[in-house]
Amino acid sequence: MDGNKTSYESIDHYISTFSLEIQEKLESIRQVIREAAPEATEKISYQMPTFAQHGNVVHFAAFKHHIGFYPAPSGIAEFENDLAPYITGKGTVQFPLNKPIPYELITKIVKFRVAENIAKAERKKSKKK
């Protein structure tokens, strides 16, 4: 790993390293995720803000021209039509900084991912019995 990279201690620390404009967007995304997944815990994973509940739910990160949002491949596939206006990859979507962030869509994706993780955890638990 590059010795010059910052190692973030918390989501607050991560957000504090950006300009005020970007901090506002990141805090808004964080709040939307908190409301959609109130039982999820916050952590830093892969040097990005992450919410976890029975495994990682979503990650997000700021870049020069976009906010990266990482809801896993299933989150991208489930909302493929809604995500059509954005650049997407296998488990990622880019929300351009010069356009409004789609908070309602983020809420839907986070709720989907929480339900998916809970169902997966219940399946694992029932297999152990």
The reported pTM is: 0.92
From first to last of the 129 residues of the chain, give the pLDDT tens digit.
Answer: 344 567 899 999 999 999 999 999 999 999 999 999 999 999 999 999 999 999 999 999 999 999 999 999 999 999 999 999 999 999 999 999 999 999 999 999 999 999 999 999 999 888 775
Kindly state the tokens that stand for 75.
């989150």
State how far the Cα of 52 lies from the Cα of 98, in Å rounded to an integer.
28
Q: What is the residue extent of each domain of the chain?
A: 11-128
Contact between 120 and 55 (Cβ < 8 Å): yes
Q: Any idea which architecture 11-128 has in CATH?
A: Alpha-Beta Complex (3.90)
